[in-house]
Amino acid sequence: MKRKAILPLLAALLCTAQTAPPPSPQDPYGPLFQAVQAERIFPDGKTFVDATPRDTPDAILEAYRREEPRGKEALCAFVLRHFDVPGEAPPSEKSLIGHIAALWPQLTRPALQPRAGSSALALPAPYVVPGGRFREIYYWDSYFTMLGLKADGHDALIGSMLTNFESLINRYGHIPNGTRTYYLSRSQPPFLSQMIDLADDGDAETAARHLAALRAEYRFWMAGAETLGKVGAVRRVVRMPDGSLLNRYWDDRADPRDESWAEDVATARESNRPSAEVYRHLRAGAESGWDFSSRWLTDPKRLATIHTTDIIPVDLNSLMWAMERNIARRCRVAGDQPCVTTFESAAQQRARAMQRYLWLPREARFADWDHVRRQPTPVLSAATLFPLFTGLASKAQADAVAGTIEARLVAPGGLRTTEMDSGQQWDRPNGWAPLQWIAIDGLARYQKTDLARRIAAGWIGTVNAAFLSTGKMLEKYDVEQRQPGGGGEYPLQDGFGWTNGVTRAILQLYPDLDPATGRQASPSAKHGVAQ
């Protein structure tokens, strides 16, 4: 380098050296810094001082003084909520909250523009994946993941995930099962309405965008309804015997699933029906999210007897009713009275049909209904709680359902999925995070607080026991033996988005729960949660 070129550089460096140096971490973070380093939250003291704050030092210190986290586990959880820690943050062996906080960065992915030939779908904003073999966004998983993101203050990430879902709707007319090309022919349980309510509309433009996304989502689920006569079914819509419309799960393709091709071919070979018919039912079972369950089988021991598209599911129709009500409410705010009238009428019609066909007063449960055989199905499942979760059930119905599930589905470690031990993963003895939340939230809505807390305590105890023995958050659990779950087409996965989200939300809802016992924690343990 020539002398003339060096001189300006030296001058710049000299000027920089003469400015006041920025503070070292112990200066702005004072008491927090001292507590973190004194407790040796991280084995290497350099870890914390290299962390990147997610907010201003003043805001973080204010939160620290307000929350007063005491003990190693509580401090770890606080730091992981407010800082991006370099490398893989070491979760405490005893702290579920700290472990979950450490997992969010690991499960977060940046905006994606896939290479040509990839099965991945482009996404314009960051997002959270479930983990393990599930390397992409999944539709209904994301709502339960968002519950935990909300509890841990990641509102911006919730917003960016909604941006991705709206982008998918704009491009494809619906939210696919997952963000892969091979998932585009189907969706999953429609939780977009609940996701949008979890976020903040912010301004009129955002509210209008949310409403437009909901109305497009609704059109997808009701597509073809206008072509139905007095009887029959088309895609995801079924004309009931009284002329009303309800929904079913479906898939627009009738060939083996790309991701489970060999398994589907083998299942079809075991059936005496046309292979395309079996494939459609298998794909519709995947759209349900319950892949697979005795809910969809005529013979609970044989997957080849699957008949998903024959069934009117109580969970799907509860979510559709909630979507209709949400659209009507948002249209009222927007001043669109014709829309209000249309969707209020649709919700009223659906509620009447569900009361007529899906409520079984003698059995004290909401049931799925077989529209081919024109009768309710015999399977009691955790889906019976969806009308409580959405608020569709009456007080008397909620009382009856609470008694039924307490007697038949509540296990020591949480809520069973069904009563049938079929070998399928969405059956006994497995419990799943989303169904625990549906039960807890739904029961609490109807003041069944003791039962809601009992399920919550059992679930947290199960998750904590598995965490202490494996160091992992798992996709599903055996709630009878309080151990990792089993069954299904693939090995048990860890990560795990919706388990993290629901567990974190439960611990926020019941901050006095001791995960080790499921009972009220001692006063000294409340800050750490999981002693």
Active site residue 291: yes
**In sequence order, what are the residues at sequence separation of 6 or more whose Cβ sits closer than 8 angstroms to the Cβ of residue 273?**
none
Annotated active-site residue 200? The verdict is no
Query: What is the distance between the alpha carbons of residues 268 and 278, in angstroms, rounded to a whole number?
Result: 6
Between CA 468 and CA 95 the distance in angstroms is 9
Question: What are the backbone angles phi and psi of residue 31, rounded to the nearest 5°?
Answer: -65, -35
How many other CB atoms are found less than 10 A from the CB of residue 24? Answer: 10
Selected catalytic residue, list 73, 264, 475, 514: 475
Cis status, amide bond into 434, omega within 30 of 0: no
Distance CA 406, CA 404 (A): 5
Radius of gyration of the chain (CA): 25
Phi/psi at 320 (nearest 5 deg)?
-65, -40
C-beta of residue 192 within 8 angstroms of C-beta of residue 161: no
Residue type, position 241, single letter: P
CA atoms of 168 and 166, how far apart (whole Å): 5
Residues 295, 368 contacting (CB under 8 angstroms): yes
Which residues have C-beta within 8 Å of that of residue 491, sequence separation ≥ 6?
none
- Determine the Cα–Cα distance for residues 278 and 267; give it in Å rounded to an integer: 8
The Cα 71–Cα 209 span in angstroms is 44
CB-based contacts of 160, cutoff 8 Å, min separation 6: 125, 126, 127
* Tokens representing residue 326 in the block: 């949400």
Find out whether 104 and 152 touch, Cβ atoms under 8 Å.
Answer: yes
Could you tell me if 286 and 186 are in contact, meaning their C-beta atoms sit under 8 angstroms apart? yes
Which run of H or of E encompasses 327?
Answer: helix 314-334
Residues 6+ apart with CB under 8 A from 447: none
Cα end-to-end span (Å), the chain: 62
Peptide bond before residue 42 is cis, with ω within 30 degrees of 0: no
CB 438 within 8 A of CB 417: no
Residue pointed to by tokens 């409580």: 388
Peptide bond into 292 cis (omega under 30): yes
Kindly state the tokens that stand for 71: 């003990």
Q: Kindly name the residue from 136, 141, 291, 427 that is annotated as catalytic.
A: 291
**Active-site amino acid positions:** 291, 475
